[in-house]
């Protein structure tokens, strides 16, 4: 919350009117980088690129700021609103606090896509969805085309359109949601992402974006949001917003590119806690929290910002740093520093062509004294509305359970939210086992926790389970949400090449609803905060793939043998031994003799007849 506020505030406050290009004054393009040091020597860098295109231009297909390749996909697939997420790693809420953008600009691990398509029937919507995913997978080099019917769901409560749509279209807008938890986000996804920007990676804050750094981050999320905005009075515009948030480990990213190996530093460089009695030249109790409080852009990102994008709206500063005023920051000349009255952030205006470098000095010791170790000289992270942690329970390959621990830190206000699970079809959940209980209370309290459940059961090999639960967590309490499921056995062609790794289960999406909105319209309540759990790895019973044919042959032989036995028993006759034909070699010879004699007889008769 506070971040957004400060952003708006800054854009109002910044007074610079030094418009460099006459053209850019008319342009509607904003980009901003917000840097925020986090405890434990982490640094949150959130890039935001936003541009508007009027509907008329969009319909006329005159694309200036809006990427043409994306636009024609949208037009072809009849997409009204699109949200695409590439995420990696996990946000450490305990130490980093609330998520940037209140979690609105991030997805679960892997790729996440949801969109509102304009279609009259569900079939048409599915068809358009297919087109959309295929086209996007081509555009972003991600295997989005694997989002098939089994991975697609139609959430009911969790997502609300962010843009303002005319009521005429709202009626036949279909929300489809697909997620690929196994997808590994990497550089090949970043490059097309940058290509969508008007200034590419060539100018402005985008110059900092570099695959090596981005994908070495502890947590990173790339987001693309396209939504129609209709300002009151003004013409409706189509807004595309690209966001990249990443949490860099300062210590790690300060390592030079050519030598990234964390060799132990020389003994004398080791920050030690000298207060320890046994401290000596070869004994050192590490004081890591002191280290890595000082950093500079070029150290962390490997380069400096090259000027600004000429299309950028110069009225709001491109770079902001959220750090107490007590810390001193050195910046390259020509750059204007503007401190924010809340004494917790400052912004920088960058001349269009100059490079921008920034050096943050280590905090002073008195500063270190008053705050807890690990969080020295950084803003105290604000506590999120809810902590969520999901994990599997049980073991073995037949059935298991899922347990989500939801903790409400706030002492006074209860949290109401929608918990959404998208499960693959081979996890057959037992809905009757789903229960929510407050830790350390008896069952009486648990009754009212779950308020509404919307459940769409899975069909084998056709579609996955979709489970949405609207529930509440009372103030200052922890709720366990658990349910059991059964693992089904796949056909052996359905296993992926690395079957023994297990199958990824997508992250659960938790959408915290606006509590002061009216209760009755549960569907339409706006989300104040969104968070996602980590994804899970579900291990299914896996056959030994080296021997399908052996199995076929073995079983069929067994069947055949059984059949033979049964058949004989049915059709054969049993008599006493001495009644049966004679036994042994004698019998054989006897029979032969008989045959021979018969032949001879016949011959003789013939001759006789002649």
Partner 1 sequence: MPTPNVAGFSTLRARAYLFRLPLFTRAVLAAIGLFWILGVQVWWDVRAWGALVPDKLGFATLYRLNTFPFIHLNVFHALMNALALTPLLERFESEYGTLTSLALFFGPLTTLPAFMYVAVEKWILRADTAVMGASMWVFVLLGMEAIRTYKANPYLVVGTHHIPTWTTPIALLLCVAALVPSSSFLGHLAGLLVGYICGLGYLKFLAPPERVLRWVEGKLNLLGRLPHYVSVDQKTYGRFGVLPSSGSPPPTSVALPLYPYPVPEHQAQPSRESFCEEHLGTAAGQDAKITSALQLRRDPRILKLPPYLSLLFVVVGAVWLFLLPLDQYSRRTYISENALLPGQVHTYFGGSDQNVFRAYKHEVNALAGKSNVEINNSLEPIVKGLGLKTARQNFTYHAAGRTYAGENLYAILQAPRGDATEAIVLVAAWENVKHELNRNGIPLALTLARYFKRWSLWSKDIILLLTPDSIAGPQAWVDAYHDAHDPSRVASLPLKSGLLQGAIAIDYAQEGRFESLHIVYDGVNGQLPNLDLINSVVSIARGQMGIDVALQEMWRHSDDYKDRLRTMLRGMLKQGLGLASGPHSSFIPYHVDAVTLRPFGEGWQDEMALGRVVEGSFRSLNNLLEHLHQSFFFYLLMHRERFVSIGTYLPSAMLVAANFTIMAIALWVKSGHSEGGGQATADSKTVTPANHAAERDLSLPLGVVTLCQVLSVIPLYLFNHVPESALTPLFITFALLNTLLPPVLSHLLATKTTFTLAQYDLVQCFSLLLLGMFLSSLATLNFSLALIIGLLAAPLSFVRPFSPSPTSGLKRIACAVLLNAVSPTAVLLAGALYWRLDVRSVLRDAAVAWHVTGTYSPVVVWCVWWPAWLAGQLIVLARPAPASASARRSNGAWAGDDGKVKGE
Partner 2 sequence: MTPRKQPPPESPSDIRRRTHVILSFWLIILFLGLPIWWWTTTIYRARLPLQEMLEWADGKACRPVFPLRISIQANSLQEQEAQNLLRLTQHALDDLNDFSGHHLRLQLSPPSSDAKQTHDSGSALTIRLIPGETTTATLDPLEPVLDITYPPNAIPLPTSSSSTLATYVAAQLRSTFAEEQATISYLLSTNAIPSEHRPQGLSPEAAESLSKRTTRSLKYAPTYHLTFSLFTSGPLPSSWDIEAAIDEYMKPVLDVLSPIHNFTIDTQVQLYATPGVQNQVLNKEDLSSFINAAEWPLSPSIGGAPTINFIVFVGNQTIAAASQSPEDASGSESSAAHSWLIPQWGTVYLLSLPLDVTHLSVASLKQPLLTFTSHLLSLTGTPQSGSLPLRLSTLARIRSADLLLRASSTLGSLARLALALPSISIPRSVADGVAKTMAHLRLACETLGGAEGLAHARIAEAEAERAFFEKSMVGQLYFPDEHKIAVYLPLLGPVAVPLVLGLINELKAWSKRRREMAKRGEEKKRE
Positions touching partner 2 (CB under 8 A) are 21-24, 27, 60-64, 67-69, 71-73, 76, 131, 135, 138-139, 195, 198-200, 202-203, 309-311, 549, 552-553, 556-557, 559-561, 563-564, 567-568, 570-571, 573, 575-576, 578-582, 586
The residues with which 391 forms a beta bridge, in sequence order, are 403
Number of neighbours of residue 373 by Cβ within 10 angstroms: 13
Indicate the burial class of 589 (C-beta count within 10 angstroms; 0-12, 13-18, 19 or more): exposed
The residues with which 177 forms a beta bridge, in sequence order, are 114, 153
Q: Which is nearer to partner 1, 373 or 457 (CB)?
A: 373
548 touches partner 1 (CB under 8 A): no
- Cβ of residue 203: shortest distance to partner 2, in angstroms? 7
- Cβ of residue 26: shortest distance to partner 2, in angstroms? 8
- Cβ of residue 148: shortest distance to partner 2, in angstroms? 15
Q: Which is nearer to partner 1, 231 or 265 (CB)?
A: 265
Residue 461 partner contact from partner 1, partner 2, none using kind-dependent CB cut-offs of 5 to 8 Å: none
Number of neighbours of residue 277 by Cβ within 10 angstroms: 5
Q: Which is nearer to partner 2, 207 or 292 (CB)?
A: 207
| Inter-residue contact 415 to 511 (CB < 8 Å) | no
Token pair for 129: 């969805």
Q: At what angle do helices 68-77 and 122-140 cross, to 10 degrees?
A: 160
Residue 265 partner contact from partner 2, partner 1, none using kind-dependent CB cut-offs of 5 to 8 Å: partner 1
Q: Which is nearer to partner 2, 58 or 529 (CB)?
A: 58
What is the spatial distance between Cα 310 and Cα 308, in angstroms, rounded to a whole number?
Answer: 6
Task: Identify residues 3-62 at the interface with partner 1 (CB under 8 A).
Answer: 40
What is the spatial distance between Cα 125 and Cα 128, in angstroms, rounded to a whole number?
Answer: 5
What is the spatial distance between Cα 394 and Cα 409, in angstroms, rounded to a whole number?
Answer: 28
Residue 21 partner contact from partner 2, partner 1, none using kind-dependent CB cut-offs of 5 to 8 Å: partner 2
- Cβ of residue 302: shortest distance to partner 2, in angstroms? 20
Measure the CA dihedral 16/19/25/30, to 10°. Answer: -50
What is the spatial distance between Cα 287 and Cα 301, in angstroms, rounded to a whole number?
Answer: 25
Task: Provide CB contacts within 8 A for 569, sequence distance 6+.
Answer: none
Give the 3-state secondary structure of residue 13.
helix
| Residue from 393, 514, 550, 557 in contact with partner 1 (CB under 8 A) | 393
562 touches partner 1 (CB under 8 A): no
Q: Which is nearer to partner 1, 62 or 372 (CB)?
A: 372
395 touches partner 1 (CB under 8 A): yes
For residue 435, the number of C-alpha atoms closer than 13 Å in the C-beta half-sphere is 11
92 touches partner 1 (CB under 8 A): yes
541 touches partner 1 (CB under 8 A): no
585 touches partner 1 (CB under 8 A): yes
- Cβ of residue 567: shortest distance to partner 2, in angstroms? 5
- Cβ of residue 481: shortest distance to partner 1, in angstroms? 15
- Cβ of residue 264: shortest distance to partner 1, in angstroms? 4
What is the spatial distance between Cα 116 and Cα 241, in angstroms, rounded to a whole number?
Answer: 16
Residue 535 partner contact from partner 2, partner 1, none using kind-dependent CB cut-offs of 5 to 8 Å: partner 1
CA nearest to 504, candidates 429, 394, 392, 395: 392
91 touches partner 1 (CB under 8 A): no
- Cβ of residue 152: shortest distance to partner 1, in angstroms? 22
Site size with partner 1, rule: CB under 8 A: 79
- Cβ of residue 541: shortest distance to partner 2, in angstroms? 24
Q: Which is nearer to partner 2, 60 or 521 (CB)?
A: 60
558 touches partner 1 (CB under 8 A): no
Q: Pairing mode, if any, of strands 358-360 and 355-356?
A: unpaired
Q: Which is nearer to partner 2, 526 or 556 (CB)?
A: 556
Q: Which is nearer to partner 2, 124 or 294 (CB)?
A: 124
| Inter-residue contact 195 to 14 (CB < 8 Å) | no
Residue 18 partner contact from partner 1, partner 2, none using kind-dependent CB cut-offs of 5 to 8 Å: none
Indicate the burial class of 388 (C-beta count within 10 angstroms; 0-12, 13-18, 19 or more): buried
Stretch that binds partner 1, among 134-142, 413-421, 568-576, 600-608 (CB under 8 A): 568-576
What is the contact mask toward partner 1 in residues 263 to 282, using x (rule: CB under 8 A)? xxxxx-xx-x---x-xx--x
Q: How far is CA 248 from CA 43, 89, 227, 324, 381, in A?
A: 5, 11, 30, 19, 16
Task: Identify residues 117-176 at the interface with partner 1 (CB under 8 A).
Answer: none
Indicate the burial class of 500 (C-beta count within 10 angstroms; 0-12, 13-18, 19 or more): exposed
The size of the chain, in residues, is: 610
Stretch that binds partner 1, among 76-84, 453-461, 519-527, 578-586 (CB under 8 A): 578-586
441 touches partner 1 (CB under 8 A): no
Q: Which is nearer to partner 2, 195 or 428 (CB)?
A: 195
Left (φ > 0), alpha (ψ -120 to 50) or beta: where does 461 sit? left
What is the spatial distance between Cα 124 and Cα 172, in angstroms, rounded to a whole number?
Answer: 11
| Inter-residue contact 81 to 161 (CB < 8 Å) | yes
Task: Identify residues 192-221 at the interface with partner 1 (CB under 8 A).
Answer: 215-219
Residue 215 partner contact from partner 1, partner 2, none using kind-dependent CB cut-offs of 5 to 8 Å: partner 1
CA nearest to 71, candidates 60, 104, 86: 60
What is the contact mask toward partner 1 in residues 463 to 502, using x (rule: CB under 8 A)? -----------------------------------xxxxx
286 touches partner 1 (CB under 8 A): yes
The residues with which 349 forms a beta bridge, in sequence order, are 336
| Inter-residue contact 261 to 223 (CB < 8 Å) | no
């Amino acid at each position: 919350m506070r971040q957004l506020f400060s952003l708006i505030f800054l854009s109002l406050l910044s007074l610079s009117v030094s418009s460099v290009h006459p053209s850019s004054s008319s342009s509607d393009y904003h980009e901003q980088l917000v840097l925020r040091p986090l405890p434990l020597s982490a640094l949150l860098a959130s890039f935001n690129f936003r541009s508007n295109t009027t509907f008329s231009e969009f319909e006329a297909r005159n694309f200036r700021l809006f990427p043409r390749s994306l636009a024609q996909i949208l037009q072809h697939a009849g997409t009204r609103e699109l949200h695409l997420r590439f995420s990696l790693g996990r946000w450490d809420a305990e130490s980093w606090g609330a998520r940037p953008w209140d979690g609105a600009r991030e997805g679960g691990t892997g790729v996440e896509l949801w969109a509102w398509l304009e279609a009259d029937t569900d079939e048409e919507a599915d068809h358009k969805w297919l087109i959309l995913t295929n086209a996007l997978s081509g555009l972003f080099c991600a295997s989005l085309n694997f989002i098939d019917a089994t991975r697609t769901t139609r959430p009911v409560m969790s997502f609300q359109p962010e843009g303002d749509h005319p009521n005429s279209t709202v009626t036949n807008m279909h929300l489809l949601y697909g997620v690929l938890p196994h997808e590994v986000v990497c550089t090949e996804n970043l490059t097309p992402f940058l290509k969508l920007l008007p200034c590419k990676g060539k100018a402005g804050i985008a110059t900092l974006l570099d695959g090596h750094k981005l994908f070495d981050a502890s947590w990173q999320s790339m987001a693309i949001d396209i939504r129609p905005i209709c300002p009151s009075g003004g013409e409706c515009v189509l807004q595309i917003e690209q966001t990249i948030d990443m949490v860099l480990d300062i210590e790690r990213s300060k390592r030079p590119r050519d030598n990234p190996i964390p060799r132990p530093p020389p003994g004398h460089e080791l920050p030690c806690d000298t207060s320890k009695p046994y401290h000596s030249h070869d004994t050192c109790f590490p004081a890591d929290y002191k280290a890595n409080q000082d950093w500079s852009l070029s150290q962390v990102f490997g380069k400096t910002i090259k000027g600004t994008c000429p299309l950028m709206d110069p009225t709001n500063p491109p770079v902001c740093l959220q750090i107490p005023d007590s810390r001193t920051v050195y910046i390259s000349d020509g750059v204007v520093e503007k401190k924010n009255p809340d004494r917790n952030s400052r912004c920088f205006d960058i001349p269009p062509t100059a490079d921008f470098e920034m050096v943050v000095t280590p905090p002073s010791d008195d500063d270190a004294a008053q705050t807890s170790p690990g969080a020295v000289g950084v803003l105290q992270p604000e506590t999120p509305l809810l902590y969520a942690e999901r994990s599997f329970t049980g073991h073995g390959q037949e059935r298991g359970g899922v347990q989500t621990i939801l903790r409400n830190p706030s002492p006074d206000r209860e949290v109401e939210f929608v918990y959404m699970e998208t499960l693959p079809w081979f996890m057959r959940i037992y809905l009757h086992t789903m229960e929510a209980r407050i830790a350390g209370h008896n069952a009486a309290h648990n009754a009212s926790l779950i308020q509404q459940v919307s459940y769409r059961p899975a069909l084998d090999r056709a579609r996955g389970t979709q489970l949405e639960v609207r529930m509440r967590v009372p103030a200052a309490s922890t709720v366990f949400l658990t349910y059991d499921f059964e693992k089904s056995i796949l056909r052996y062609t359905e296993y992926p090449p690395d079957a023994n790794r297990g199958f990824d289960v997508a992250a659960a999406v938790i959408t915290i609803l606006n509590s002061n909105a009216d209760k009755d319209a549960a569907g339409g309540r706006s989300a104040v905060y969104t968070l996602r759990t980590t994804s899970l790895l579900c291990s299914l019973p896996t056959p030994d793939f080296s021997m399908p044919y052996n199995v076929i042959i073995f079983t069929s032989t067994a069947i055949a043998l059984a059949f033979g036995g049964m058949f004989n028993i049915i059709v054969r006759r049993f008599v006493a031994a001495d009644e049966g034909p004679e036994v042994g070699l004698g019998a054989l010879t006897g029979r032969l003799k008989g045959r021979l004699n018969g032949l001879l007889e016949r011959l003789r008769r013939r001759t006789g007849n002649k």
